[in-house]
Amino acid sequence: MKIACALLFLFVVATPLHAQDADPLKSPACGAALSALQAVRNSGSEGVAALRGAAASACLGSAVVPTRPGRVLQAPVVVPPPQVDVPLQSAPLPPPVLPPPPVAIQRAPMPATCDPGGCWTSDGTHLRHVPPSLAGPGGLCTQQGGLVVCP
């Protein structure tokens, strides 16, 4: 077990030592190739493609020249204009719905005149005096202020 751990430790320590020492992008050959390519581009002379290949092989380590993707010619897409069909005759509108008539709320009768036998209300009904309240034709009434509520 100790031998396996020691070997693993040596492998981990020794692996970075075998890493690539020189960066091809920082090499003097790459710098010279890029300078030559830039000089030809600035002067507008021919031969840019050949120098581009030389710079690619010196800096990237490959002889493959990176190219720009070609543009594909494609006919423009033609979209027909939208067509809206308008009906010749529109459907008639439904007749308006009228709201229901207002509900008539009857006012409670008010006692107009009272005597020892009872009270006469504003609608002409006689309410008998049954202490401590009044009694109408349907039963006992309750008096709330100046109003009388009878069943």
Q: Where are the domains of the chain?
A: 23-66, 111-149
Residue-level pLDDT at 28: 87
101: tokens are 């008539």
State pLDDT tens for residues 111-148: 667 788 888 877 777 888 887 777 887 888 877 776 77
pLDDT tens digit sequence for 2-20? 776 566 666 666 555 555 5
Of residues 34 and 148, which shows the higher confidence score?
Answer: 34
Q: Which region holds residue 101: left if phi is over 0, alpha if psi is between -120 and 50, else beta?
A: beta
% the chain with pLDDT above 70: 75
Which run of H or of E encompasses 144? strand 139-144
Contacts of 56 (CB under 8 A, 6+ apart): 62, 63, 64, 65, 66
Please report, for residues 34, 89, 107, 112, the alpha-carbon distance to residue 134 in angstroms, rounded to integers and kept in the order given. Answer: 118, 69, 18, 14
